[in-house]
Amino acid sequence: MTTASAPTGVASFHDILRIAGCRHHFPLLRQLVNGKPLVYFDNAATSQKPQVVIDAMVRYYETENSNIHRGVHYLSERATQAYEGVRTKVRDFMHAEDQREIVFVRGATEAINLVAHSFGRRYVHAGDEILVSEMEHHSNIVPWQILCEELGATLKVIPMNDRGELLVEEYERLLSEKTKIVAVTHVSNALGTVNPIKELVARAHARGIPVLVDGAQAVPHIRVDVQDLDCDFYAFSAHKMFGPTGVGVLYGKRKWLEEMPPYQGGGDMIKSVTFEKTTYNDLPYKFEAGTPNIGGGIGLGAAIDYLHEIDLNAIQQLEHDLLFYATEKILTIPGVRIIGTAQQKAGVLSFTMQGIHPHDIGPILDLEGVAIRTGHHCAQPVMKHFGVPATARASFALYNTKEEVDAFIKALHKVIEVLG
Ligand code: PMP
């Protein structure tokens, strides 16, 4: 986590050195783009993968590949052990109480859809309300909207201020006996805001309302402790935290997961099937129909090991300094407006340039080897709030450096030369 206001000093010098040396763990970063050293600032979209993650997946396919849970042969047992071992790693990574609370899914999007469908079908009825925030990614809006349309429930929105911070008093006002669930992001992908999840959860729980946290942008930056947050559900994708695409996690408190109906039907999620009646498997398998992304799961396990090696506290410190540095530098460029100036920010610098469409910034930066993202970042309500069609977004990860920020700033000056 980082604030754009001032650097702090939590991590040890030793930790910082360990991180500074980690860039060479990422083979993709060694390439030139358009003849320039690649500056990869599109980490909020997806992060790059360290060699250990790539190797773990190759090793799995070379030596262990087999289907899991059902096999009685050597390879199947090895693959099952490896895959279930990752569940234990995820449990420890999130500090969940029980590994039955860890459901493997395709990513954050599927995790949220799972809860919307399953929890929604069991607990939400016509006239009820679901509370999301104004800064949500579309994947934490649309599944709830679909549910509301189907059931005749209403989607309510927690507003934010012009710094991109949620209005907690407004939130309190919106909570009522009609509210069936609160679904809110830990870190905004469009603004970088880190939300006060513990407080939001406590206020909802005071009224007996469960909370789902979209952690897609938090896990690569912040140490997440689901017991400390006391959230009821927590969703994330492996690919934003140095793991592969196509795999992610839904954490859910057992008391909810036990009660919730299955999300999808198929192999592995059943105990017995007859045409008259099917009984469902125990947790977490009840929610894991079909052959999962086993190789991806192995990659996620390797990414968690890697993050342990590096130390998340040290990552926070480094990214904090980088964001502070980039924020100071970008504000020296005439006509730049930063979108998202919350006190608590992590890893994201969203901005516009006066008189230049954000979509025109990206291609010029690309010619300089700098990869950023331009667009609405799947958060159109955020764009609406700030009265912009889109923003340019630089997003940082543990392998980024101040020298890269300098190259990015130089490239922005080129944008002004060409288009300004
Ligand atoms: N929530 C947030 C805050 C995100 O940034 C993203 C990805 N941009 C998602 C959810 C969806 O993640 P995925 O596409 O990996 O399912």
231 is catalytic: no
User: E-strand spans in 24-158?
Assistant: 32-33, 36-37, 39-40, 102-105, 129-133, 154-158
For a pocket test of ligand 1, which of 42, 46, 47, 109 has the largest count of ligand atoms closer than 8 A to its C-beta?
A: 109
Q: What is the mean pLDDT of residues 301-319?
A: 90
Instruction: Please check whether residue 255 lies inside any domain of the structure.
Output: yes
Q: What DSSP string describes 232-253?
A: SEEEEEGGGGTS-TT-EEEEE-
Convert the pLDDT of each residue in 387-398 to its tens digit.
999 999 999 999
Amino acid found at 322? L
- pLDDT above 70: residue 13: no
Where among 308, 329, 362 does a domain terminate?
308
Instruction: Please check whether residue 154 lies inside any domain of the structure.
Output: yes
Q: Is 138 exposed, middle or buried (0-12, 13-18, 19+ CB in 10 A)?
A: middle
pTM to 2 decimals?
Answer: 0.96
pLDDT of 312 reads 81
Q: Are 289 and 335 in a shared domain?
A: no
Q: Are 303 and 364 in a shared domain?
A: no
| Nearest partner of 391 among 408, 374, 366, 368, judged by Cα | 374
Summary mean pLDDT of the chain: 95
**Within 10 Å of residue 174's Cβ, how many Cβ atoms?**
17
Q: Are 64 and 114 in a shared domain?
A: yes
Convert the pLDDT of each residue in 45-84 to its tens digit.
999 999 999 999 999 999 999 999 987 899 999 999 999 9
Give the total number of structural domains in the chain. Answer: 2
Residue entry with tokens 């459901």: 103
Q: How far apart are CA 302 and CA 390, in angstroms?
A: 35
Amino acid found at 282? D
Instruction: Please check whether residue 4 lies inside any domain of the structure.
Output: no
Q: Are 167 and 238 in a shared domain?
A: yes
Tell me if 189 CB under 6 Å of ligand 1: yes
- pLDDT above 70: residue 405: yes
Where among 256, 276, 308 does a domain terminate?
308
Convert the pLDDT of each residue in 195-227 to its tens digit.
999 999 999 999 999 999 999 999 999 999 999
The domain in which residue 349 lies consists of 13-46+311-419
At residue 388, φ and ψ (nearest 5 deg) are -125, 150
Q: Are 363 and 287 in a shared domain?
A: no
pLDDT of 11 reads 56
Confidence of residue 250 (pLDDT cuts 50, 70, 90): very high
- pLDDT above 50: residue 6: no
- pLDDT above 60: residue 98: yes
Element housing 272 (H / E)? strand 270-273
- Half-sphere exposure of 346 toward its Cβ, with a 13 Å CA cutoff? 27
Q: Are 136 and 255 in a shared domain?
A: yes
Q: How far apart are CA 112 and CA 108, in angstroms?
A: 6
- pLDDT above 80: residue 10: no
Confidence of residue 17 (pLDDT cuts 50, 70, 90): low
Where among 308, 328, 343 does a domain terminate?
308
Q: Are 179 and 212 in a shared domain?
A: yes
Q: Are 27 and 99 in a shared domain?
A: no
pLDDT of 400 reads 95
Q: Are 247 and 386 in a shared domain?
A: no
CA of 6 to the centre of ligand 1 (A): 28
CA of 129 to the centre of ligand 1 (A): 23
Output the domain CATH number for residue 35: 3.90.1150.10
Tell me if 195 CB under 6 Å of ligand 1: no
pLDDT above 90: percentage of residues in the chain: 91
Tell me if 108 CB under 6 Å of ligand 1: yes
Q: What is the mean pLDDT of residues 287-308?
A: 97
pLDDT of 18 reads 60
Confidence of residue 314 (pLDDT cuts 50, 70, 90): confident
Contact between residue 250 and residue 103 where contact means Cβ atoms under 8 Å apart: yes
User: E-strand spans in 159-217?
Assistant: 179-185, 211-214
CA of 186 to the centre of ligand 1 (A): 11
**List 22, 148, 231, 378, catalytic entry:** 378
For a pocket test of ligand 1, which of 189, 212, 293, 395 has the largest count of ligand atoms closer than 8 A to its C-beta?
A: 189
Q: Are 279 and 315 in a shared domain?
A: no
Amino acid found at 112? I
Q: What DSSP string describes 276-336?
A: S-EEEPPTTGGG--S---HHHHHHHHHHHHHHHHH-HHHHHHHHHHHHHHHHHHHTTSTTE
Q: Are 334 and 391 in a shared domain?
A: yes
Confidence of residue 315 (pLDDT cuts 50, 70, 90): confident
